[in-house]
Amino acid sequence: MEYQYHTLANGIKIIHKPKKGMVSHCGLMVETGSRDESESENGLAHMIEHLIFKGTRKRKTWHILSRIENVGGELNAYTTKEETVIYASLLSPYYERTLELFADVAFNSVFPEKEVKKEKEVIIDEINSYNDSPAELIFDDFEDLIFNGHPLGRNILGTVDKVKGFYREDIVRFLKNHYNTQHMVLASVGDIDFDKLVRLAEKYFGMPARSETQNIRTPFWYYHPSKKTIKKESYLSHLMIGTTACSRLDEKKPAMMLLNNLLGGPAMNSRLNMGIREKYGFAYQVESYYQPYSDTGVFSVYLGTDSKHINKGIELIKKELNLLSKKQIGTLQFDRAQKQFIGQMAISYEVPVNEMLSMARSHLYRDRVKTFEENIDIINRLTPSNLLEVANETFAPENLSTLIYESKNR
């Protein structure tokens, strides 16, 4: 079914997909994330995401957290390097309650000093917990290696010292400078008439004046491959190999997505899983990842393995990358890869909250969002030569960076 669109006078965009049922999903996505912070502000966007639930001009924390949960819904939020998101799953009759709450926390949060101080401790615990998990931490450290010195390389959570130094005035200033109504999307998948959704959006989101501030992002263009090894107190060694890749709006993105899925996607029959885990038993987990951003992207392969297998693991990963770069895959294998990827897309779209968030993100960067059927058509029109071209550009050995967390037990 086609998506439905509307734009409020202040620039906030609305996108909706009708879906009958008891449960609906909606979210407010803002095109502001950790890459929009200065070095001294690192971690501030994530902290704001925490604090918007800690009090508004008319609600205390308990009232915010209970507003949707009391009627059986779920309220959540997250921060990425380029977006901040508030979203909820709700029983369909409670759309107005949910939208009113979104508008209240987005535009009327007061950030009381008492809550700021308390939430610092929560976030510091989150950072320390993250630092205790090398299998998660290595992904951020790898992007720091790739984007050396650029805001895209900084950890979304910030650092303990940075978080300790934030105060209410820092939060208010950051909001004023970066949260722009022209870069907000209200997305919905659920059982509500679109005209009614627009009326509710006008009622609760139409009041803020059109923002004049603009996020001026520093583009990334100076990638230099590098290698780094860090000693860690862990039983396993952890490895990342990768490089920059095409951006979110690049016409080669679909080929990159299909290539990544074939190489090391979530399926058990991926080339990396079959060639490293199943053939040699070297790893419990080996996967490849492709993360597009607005002006660049990252391709990476993760491997967690016993220290004695780390060098062989690197060799096998590079072998698979080289094979995909030098030899076009056969018609039968390509056909299977297409069908598998389309099936995984279909399964993802069966989770409406995933589709809602995908719609919101796409609408931030495009006037019109491609439907599921259009995305399938794009994948079906790809050819083995498209994958070979992208592999040649992305997997060139001289462009690969490597980060190893080497176990001190080695």
Q: What is the DSSP string of 193-230?
A: -HHHHHHHHHHHHSSSPPP-----PPPP------EEEE
The pLDDT score that the predictor gives to residue 403 is: 97
Element counts in the chain: helices (H) and strands (E): 16, 11
pLDDT interval class at 118 (50, 70, 90): very high
Backbone angles phi, psi at 282, to 5 degrees: -80, -15
Terminal alpha carbon distance of the chain: 56
Q: Burial-class residue 2 by CB neighbours within 10 Å (0-12, 13-18, 19+).
A: exposed
* Reported pTM: 0.94
Cα–Cα distance for residue pair 109/155, rounded to 1 Å: 25
Report whether pLDDT(359) > 80: yes
Report whether pLDDT(267) > 90: no
- Please give the mean pLDDT across all residues of the chain: 94
Task: For the chain, state the CA radius of gyration.
Answer: 22
Backbone angles phi, psi at 54, to 5 degrees: -105, 15
Cα–Cα distance for residue pair 224/401, rounded to 1 Å: 8
Mean pLDDT for the stretch of residues 18-42: 96
The pLDDT score that the predictor gives to residue 408 is: 73
Under DSSP, the state recorded for 261 is: H
The pLDDT score that the predictor gives to residue 209 is: 74
pLDDT interval class at 319 (50, 70, 90): very high
Cα–Cα distance for residue pair 204/200, rounded to 1 Å: 6
Cα–Cα distance for residue pair 78/120, rounded to 1 Å: 16
Mean pLDDT for the stretch of residues 28-54: 96
Under DSSP, the state recorded for 273 is: I
- Over residues 69-91, the pLDDT tens digits come to 999 999 999 999 999 999 999 99
The pLDDT score that the predictor gives to residue 410 is: 56
Written as six digits, the tokens of 185 are: 């999307």
**Domains of the chain: residue spans and CATH:** 4-205 (3.30.830.10), 227-407 (3.30.830.10)
β-partners of residue 27 are 87, 187
Cβ atoms of 146 and 161 closer than 8 Å = no
Cβ atoms of 310 and 239 closer than 8 Å = yes
Cβ atoms of 76 and 26 closer than 8 Å = no
Overall size of the chain counted in residues: 410
Cα–Cα distance for residue pair 201/290, rounded to 1 Å: 34
The pLDDT score that the predictor gives to residue 384 is: 97
> What value, to the nearest 5°, has the Cα angle with vertex 396 and ends 393 and 397?
165
pLDDT interval class at 284 (50, 70, 90): confident
Selection from 207-216, 233-242, 373-382, 400-409 with the highest mean pLDDT:
373-382
Cβ atoms of 297 and 248 closer than 8 Å = yes
> What value, to the nearest 5°, has the Cα angle with vertex 291 and ends 303 and 268?
45
Task: Give the H or E element holding residue 14.
Answer: strand 13-18
Mean pLDDT for the stretch of residues 199-228: 88
